[in-house]
Structure formats: structure tokens, C-alpha cells
Amino acid sequence: MCGIMATFEADPGIGVVQATELLTRHLAHRGPDGIGAGSSGRAVVAHARLAIVDVAGGQQPMHAEDGRTILACNGEIYNHRQVRRSLGLAHRFRTASDSEVVLHLFEDMGHELLQRLDGMFAFFITDGVRFLAARDALGIKPLYVGEDQQGGLWFASELKALVGRCPTLFAVPPGAFVTESRRVERWFTPAWADSPGKRGDVSPDELLSRLEQAVVKRLMSDVPIGVLLSGGLDSSLVAALARRHLSRLKTFSVGVEGAPDLAAAQLVATAIGADHNQCTYSVREVSRCIDEVIYHLESYDAALVRSAIPCYFVSRMAADQVKVALTGEGADELFGGYSHTQRLRDPVALHRESVRLLKGLHSMNLQRVDRMTMAHGLEGRVPFLDVAFVDFVMGLDPFLKLRQARGLEKALLRSAAEQVLPREIAQRPKLEFSQGSATDVVLEQYAAARVTDHDMARAAARFPIDTPKCKEELLYRSIFEELFPGEPARRTVSRWVVPSSQPMLS
């Protein structure tokens, strides 16, 4: 995992030295293992590296044999070994890094290379005349693009590198790319986006096997791997499957003293034989980190900030022992794990809501995972969002995912989980991360103490667009505005919305 920044046709004064300085100032936390920069023609490319694969030899930016083509890539290409073999002797590989396949595929195929990649990624590659800036299918890794006042293009892993420099900026959509034509084009359009699946049955064994394949794929690493373990169904299942393939697995959980997640995570770790680590944090520690969390999160959405607090603390703890951490994000979107999806009675409506949630993940839970892990130089990986696994689950008849008689959500997944987890975990009712860690009450109390009634009375005048509706929302919005002033930054923020027009069970 890394941080990238690039310019194309920007002010000629923006050279390698300044690009390096800007990257170091804004994105160095994403890549504590080295900073590099280079240029080619009309482009300047910079890279902050978190060394995961080919630790000794995978420095970036990378140059192709022609000396002109240059790449900065953030992410992991899980099928890089297969791609290398398919390229044969047509190219001379200089490293064992997974990112190098992008360089050589670009030379051969241009933007069509994206169809060859299986992974999570955001990258910028150029030969000085043409360029390709692209983002993975589901938007696991971030990529922002902005235009400066002179018409130059800027690309960066995080918003903070562009705010104040680019009056126009936006996030590249998931499964999309930008070229020198300056058009945003789609490269990934899944079949499940248009119509519900039709497969009418799946056994727990098959579901577990397919998820295990996704987990194993994400064990690719030359550095230690762990799991961020809340003790809920999703992260516990990932941990149990990863433990099958690792002689030793470290797991990590956090919460306020007495939080339900702490006991549940310990139960899971003991059952699967993991080396478990946990820590508690105080009300004071939560209040002191809010500004920093919002700085890294780059959002003021209250639900997202709430879940980001425990994610921030668990990532900080894990980063002291591992450099890669698997998480359970994506299961609720795939299997109807939210309270509002659990109430749906129409299979087609459930499928449509799953599609909506999956399309929005990049600016919600995936944004949280990326920013909170990378704030501490930790790489987060999400097995549930393996493209092949997503295709499989979304290809099932959504009737299979509807609420079952026993009343718990994600019944399909729970049946599979009972094969590898204690039953009390496989059947543990869902809690939001902020609830399970007992952070939600702390944040409500802190916001009530910090934001006055007078502040709330002025909220609409201060923020006429997307006006905060409670003290907690106003607190986060105010902090965000101080850190990222201006309408261009605000427009990048997505909000958690539960549709009110869908048919529900009475």
C-alpha cells in the first residue's frame, strides 16, 4: 500500500523536487518506507511506499525499458504471477514487485490492461505524452483528480494533497479511468448491476470454499499479516479462514472498557488459536483524536466518523506488529446485513439495495478502512470484496438472502460460519462497529458538551447545504470545514442514506 501523486501539463515549475516535498507533507503516512519521484515529458510522478511485496527491490516510481514510461501504483495485484507468466519473454522484469506488471501491460495494451488485473489498486502511468490514471473495480483504493487554475491535472491518493491547489476536484469513480483526453471512462460494469441473480441454491460448503479462496489470495505478502477482529460474524469468519493457512496469526481488537466486542473477539481468537491483542481507550483519548481522525478520514458523515474512531485505534495497535491486516468489510452489502435491508420483503428490492450499497462503498466503509489503516502505515485488505466472490454472491437469487424465520440477518453466511466458528459467534447479532466498541455513547456525550444550543441555532446559516441535524453532525462538519475549506472539498463527501421508499415487512 502506498500514496501516489502526479501532475500532467501542470505549471512547468512543478518539478520532481516540489512534487517530492508535497507528497512528503501530505501523504507520507501512507508510505513510511520511502519517498520517490520522477518525470517524463509533461508529467511528474511521486510515490510514498509501504513495502509489502519485494521489500528490497520494489521501489517506485518504476521505469520501463524505454526509459520514458513511468508508474506510481497504490495497492496489490493479486494475480501478478500469472500475468508475468503470460507476458513471457516479451519484457524484462527488474523486480519481483506485483506492481511491475502494470508497467509492461501498459506498454502492450494501453488502458485495456485493466481487464487483466485482479486486485485493489489506484495508479498513474505515463510515457510523457499519454497517461492512464485508474481505480480498481469497487474503489477499494482511492484516487482523486483536480484541475489547477492553469488547466494542469493533479492526481493524488488523498483529498488533502489537492485542497487549496485545485479549485475543481473529484474522486475517480470505482472501475473507471482517465486518460490524456481528460474524459472519465468506465472499464468495469458488472452484470449484477442490471439484474438480480438467478442461481437458486448454494451449500454452506461452497460458500465457505469460495470465501476461503478470496482470503487465501489476500495472504500474498512478504511481511507479517494480521486480522482486525471485532468479534462479529464477518471479521471472525475472515480470521478463522486465514488461520487455516498461517502457522501463526495475530488478531487485534479495541473498545471502551467492558465493550461487547472485546469479549467476543477473545472468544474467537481462543477458538481458532490466534495470537490475540486488545486494548481499551478512554473517553479522553476518544475526544483527543477526533480532529485527527477527520483529517485522515476526509469526511464529516456522522456514521462514518463514529466507525472510524475504533478503526483508528485498532489500526494504530496493529501497525506496531504487522504491515497487512484483513478486515470484514463488504459482507453486509452482499448478504443484506443492515437493519433496513433485513426488513425488505421483495427480493428484487433487496438486490437493488445491495447494488446501491456496493456502488457507494468506495466513499463510505472502504474510505474508512483505507484512511484509518493508512494513517498508521498499515495495509487493509477486504476478502469479501474479491471481484469473483462478489460476482458469485450477487449471482444468487436474492430470495436466498431474505430474512429467515429465526430473525437474524445474513442467514446464508451464518450457516457457513458455523463450520469454522463457535456457534455463539456465528449467531451473534450484528452490532455497528461504534456500538460493539461502545464508542457511540462516548461520542454523543462529547458532542453534547462541546456544541452549544446557540451553535445549533446557527447551523443552517453556517452550512446551508447539507445542514447538520444534531450536535454530533455539527461537530464533525465544523472540524471538516476547518481542515478542508471550500465547496470543492465538501462535494467529495458522501452521506449514509437509508432509502425510505422501499417496501418493508409490516
156 and 268 share a domain? Answer: no
C-alpha cell at 248: 501463526
217 and 361 share a domain? Answer: yes
68 and 120 share a domain? Answer: yes
> Is 498 a member of any domain?
no
345 and 208 share a domain? Answer: yes
Average pLDDT for residues 22-26, to the nearest whole number?
90
Cα 11 from chain centroid? 32
Burial 296-321 (b: 16+ CB within 10 A, else e): bbbbbbbbbbbbbbbbbbbbbbbbee
211 and 310 share a domain? Answer: yes
Confidence class for position 412, pLDDT limits 50, 70, 90: very high
> Is 447 a member of any domain?
yes
Q: Name 261's Cβ contacts closer than 8 Å, sequence gap at least 6.
A: 230, 231, 232, 253, 254, 255, 431, 436, 437
Give me the pLDDT at residue 479, please. Answer: 97
- Asked which of 451, 471, 488 is the last residue of a domain, the reply is 451
> Is 225 a member of any domain?
yes
CATH code (residue 180) = 3.60.20.10
Give me the pLDDT at residue 36, please. Answer: 92
Average pLDDT, rounded, for the chain: 93
113 and 154 share a domain? Answer: yes
CATH code (residue 434) = 3.40.50.620
Distance separating alpha carbons of residues 287 and 274, to the nearest angstrom: 31
Distance separating alpha carbons of residues 443 and 305, to the nearest angstrom: 10
216 and 112 share a domain? Answer: no
> Is 473 a member of any domain?
no
Instruction: Identify which has the larger pLDDT, 91 or 361.
Output: 361
Give me the pLDDT at residue 282, please. Answer: 87
> In the predicted model, is pLDDT for residue 504 greater than 50?
no
| pLDDT, tens digit (0-9, with 9 covering 90-100), for 303-338 | 999 999 999 999 999 999 999 999 999 999 999 999
> Is 483 a member of any domain?
no
What percent of the chain clears pLDDT 70, i.e. is strictly above it? Answer: 97
184 and 205 share a domain? Answer: no
H or E segment and range at residue 445: helix 439-450
> Is 461 a member of any domain?
no
Domains of the chain: total:
2
Give me the pLDDT at residue 405, please. Answer: 38
C-alpha cell at 418: 458455523
Which residue among the candidates 2, 73, 166, 311 is catalytic per the annotation?
2
| pLDDT, tens digit (0-9, with 9 covering 90-100), for 237-292 | 999 999 999 999 999 999 988 888 999 999 999 999 999 999 998 888 998 999 99
The answer to whether 504 and 342 have CB atoms below 8 angstroms apart is no
Average pLDDT for residues 350-377, to the nearest whole number?
97
437 and 316 share a domain? Answer: yes
2 given a catalytic annotation: yes
> Is 333 a member of any domain?
yes
> Is 493 a member of any domain?
no
* Strands 70-77 and 119-126, bridge-based pairing: antiparallel
Distance separating alpha carbons of residues 202 and 227, to the nearest angstrom: 27
Average pLDDT for residues 370-387, to the nearest whole number?
98
Give me the pLDDT at residue 327, please. Answer: 98
144 and 183 share a domain? Answer: yes
- Asked which of 169, 189, 209 is the last residue of a domain, the reply is 189
Confidence class for position 503, pLDDT limits 50, 70, 90: very low
Confidence class for position 414, pLDDT limits 50, 70, 90: very high
* Strands 324-326 and 379-381, bridge-based pairing: parallel
Distance separating alpha carbons of residues 158 and 38, to the nearest angstrom: 20
Domain of 50, in residue numbers: 2-189
- Asked which of 431, 451, 471 is the last residue of a domain, the reply is 451
* Strands 225-228 and 250-255, bridge-based pairing: parallel
The answer to whether 259 and 437 have CB atoms below 8 angstroms apart is yes
362 and 265 share a domain? Answer: yes
Give me the pLDDT at residue 505, please. Answer: 36
231 and 83 share a domain? Answer: no
